[in-house]
Every structure is written in structure tokens, then in C-alpha cells.
A and B are shown apart, each in its own frame.
Chain A
Amino acid sequence: MTEDERVERVLKALTQVEVPEGMEERVLRRLQGHRVKVATGRRWLVLACAAGACAVVALAVGMRHRVASPAVVAPMVGKVALPNPIEHHAAQASVPGASHTRIAKPSRAVAMEASFPASAAPLTEQEKLLVRLVRARESEQSRAVAALREPKETDVPLTHEEVLLVAVSRVRQDAVLEALDPVRRAETNEREKREFNAYVQQKDGGS
């Protein structure tokens, strides 16, 4: 046998084999199994994507609520929800037999609420700073007044600055009343003269 024949025999044996029986069915069956697997996988993928989208939406809604909630609550902190006097009045007038009842004059706070209703919008940074400053000033003033009134009870001599502070605070507190009441103003003048004279004498004597 020549080399050509030997090679041909092997090549023929390699490339002209019979196909095994039922191979086509087996291939199709495997493809079918693969397709079912892929379809199931896709179904799970779609479900997972849907669940993920729901989670993202829920998270976004939750975050929006968390951001928005302080803006709604902040203006109401420390306040009582006050009735609107105009609405209150209208409601009473509409009730039969209630027209003779005396309508309580709204307090200053109520009047302020009616005139300047709190905005639903959140406070700006400047507004927050302003509120903080006013509160700090209020507490400072009250502390200063309390501190100035204390020495009276204990009869501790006041310093020059303290006397001036007392005078200023009294002026601020009683200015309106004194302006309206001449008797009280006279008494106050007398008292202040006495105190001033006593202070001058004390100071002259001390020095």
C-alpha cells in the first residue's frame, strides 16, 4: 500500500463516518432543555429587575419624606396650633343664639398668628439664625434683670454699671406705665432722686 493510499484510508475513516442513530433528536432535546433554562433564567431576571425597581422607588419616596418632614414640623415646634380668630368669629356668628356671647379678644400671640401666619415653607438658614439670636437675647435679658434684682434683696451695694443697668431696665419696663400714670411717675422720680443722692453720697464718702 502506497503512502497516498494509507493517508486516504485514514482521512476517509476520519471524515466519512456515519452519524450515530438518534443524534438529531438528542441535539434538539438538548436545545429544548437549554431554551427552557434560559426562559426560566430570564423570568427570574425580570422579576429581580422589577423588585429592584420597586425598592429604588420606595427608597426615593422614603428619602423625599425624610427630607420634607422637618420643613413641615419645624415651624410648629414650641407652638400650639392656634385658632384663626376670623374663622372662629365667623363660626360663632353662624351658630344660632351665639350672637350675644362675648367673643374673647384674641391675645397678642393670636393676633400675630392671624396677621403673620407661619408659612408652610421651611425656615431658611437666615430665619433660623434670627430665631436663635432672638431667643438668646431674650434669655440674656431675663438673666441680666434677675441678676440685677437679686442685690436688692441681699442689700449688697451695686456697682456703677449695675446701677445704670437697673435704671435702664426700669426705664424700659415701666416707660409705658409711667407715661400713662402721673402719680406713679412722681413717685418714681422721688425714689430715683433718693437713690441717686444716696449713690452719690456713698460714692463721695467711699472715695
Chain B
Amino acid sequence: MAAVIGEFSLGWFGGEEARDEPDVAGLVHDFHGLLYRVAYSVVRNPAEAEDVVQETFLRVVEHRGKLAGIREMKSWLVRICWNLALDRKRRIRPEQMEDGFAAEIVSRELGAEARLVVSRDVAMVLKALDRLPVAERACLLLSAVDELSTAEVAVVLGRSESSVRSLIFRARTHLKERLGMKGGVA
């Protein structure tokens, strides 16, 4: 892929771009999956999540001068992606987004009768998730991504690890309470 990127004309300032381009291609190769999952956890829509990933790498290209000085590339990328996804989510109608996501989950599950039940349950959990405080929700979602450790989540959110752990615990507790009050669904 780096070769593909290197094919086009880089113009009069090509020297710098040619030097940075393989790095960006490498970053895309290494992190596009992780960023897609991070974006998807927020926007809950495949097309929107892919758009967010593309925007993230565009930002990287625009700030490629800083690439050399970044120590934790993964956290930096996830933070950009997370912020862009939050911005994007504000522009999407949440009802549509949740319905689509719920339908997607249900379609992978069991057949006819169970679909309606599971769909309602997923929608309920999502609603409870959205009502969580921002920090708790962020910690819960990011910690659920397999590729991110608690330390990395802490870096992304600019918090300490203990704070992140505490927030995750509180988020789960709050979710359970809210779902328990509304009644469980099999």
C-alpha cells in the first residue's frame, strides 16, 4: 500500500511528503481496524465509522510534522478518532443510529421470535449506556475494545489508570442498576 501511495505526484514540496508517506500508510495498515472499532462504538454505524477513520488519517497527514515527536502513537490516534467520532455522533440522529445497530445485532442472532425481544433489550441497554455520565461511558466503551489496555485508555482520556478503573466500575454498577430497575429480558 505504501507503494500505491508513493505513486502520485507529490508536487514541489515532495521531499518532505515522500519521506512521511510510507509512515502514514503503515499507520493506516496497523491501526485502521482499531480505529474503526473505536469509532463504531460511538457512532454505531459502519459507514459513519469508516468516515471517521478516514478523517482521523487525514488529520494525521495534516499534522505529519508532529509524527516524529509522538511517543504513544496508538493512544494519539485513538484520541483523535474518539474526538472525531463524538463530533460526528452529535450530527447523527441517535434514534436512527440505535435502531440500525440493534437490528444489526439481532440479525446475527437467533431467528424470528427472539429478534424482537433481543432488539428491545439491546435498545434498552444502549439507552442506559447513553444516559451514563460522559467520563464513565467513555471509559466503559474504550476498555471494552480488546486492543486497548487500561493504561492506554487512561492516556487517551487524559486520566490516571486508577481513575479509569474506578470509572469503569461505576459505569457497570450504574448500568446494572438501571437495567435491573427496568427489568431484565431473557
Contact = CB atoms under 8 A, between A and B. Distances in A.
A39 B17 CA distance: 10
Nearest to A10: B125
B10 A23 contact: no
B41 A32 contact: no
A16 to B, nearest CB: 7
B58 interface: yes
Interface residues of B, number: 52
A19 B33 contact: yes
Contact of B24 (A6, A16, A17, A31): A31
Interface string A2-25: 111011011111111101100111
A19 B146 CA distance: 14
Interface residues of A, number: 34
B79 interface: no
B46 A24 contact: no
Given A27-B28, A32-B8, A46-B12, A6 B121 contact: yes
Contacts of A17: 36-37, 40, 46
A176 interface: no
Contacts of A189: none
B134 interface: no
Most chain A CB within 10 A, of B1, B40, B121, B185, is at: B40
B57 interface: yes
A1 interface: yes
A42 B172 CA distance: 50
Main secondary structure of the interface of B (DSSP, over half): helix
Main secondary structure of the interface of A (DSSP, over half): helix
A89 interface: no
Interface in A34-81: 34-36, 39-40, 42-43, 46
A30 B54 contact: yes
Interface stretch (B88-96, B154-162, B176-184): B176-184
Given A1-B186, A26-B50, 16 more contacts: A4-B176, A6-B184, A6-B185, A7-B172, A9-B125, A10-B105, A10-B126, A14-B44, A15-B146, A16-B146, A17-B36, A27-B53, A28-B4, A31-B5, A32-B4, A39-B12
Interface of B: 1, 4-5, 8-14, 17, 21, 24-25, 28-29, 32-33, 36-38, 40-41, 44, 46, 50, 53-54, 57-58, 61, 101, 104-105, 121-122, 125-126, 129, 140-141, 144-146, 172, 175-176, 179-180, 184-186
User: Nearest 7 CB-CB pairs, A to B?
Assistant: A39-B11, A11-B144, A3-B176, A15-B144, A10-B125, A14-B41, A15-B145
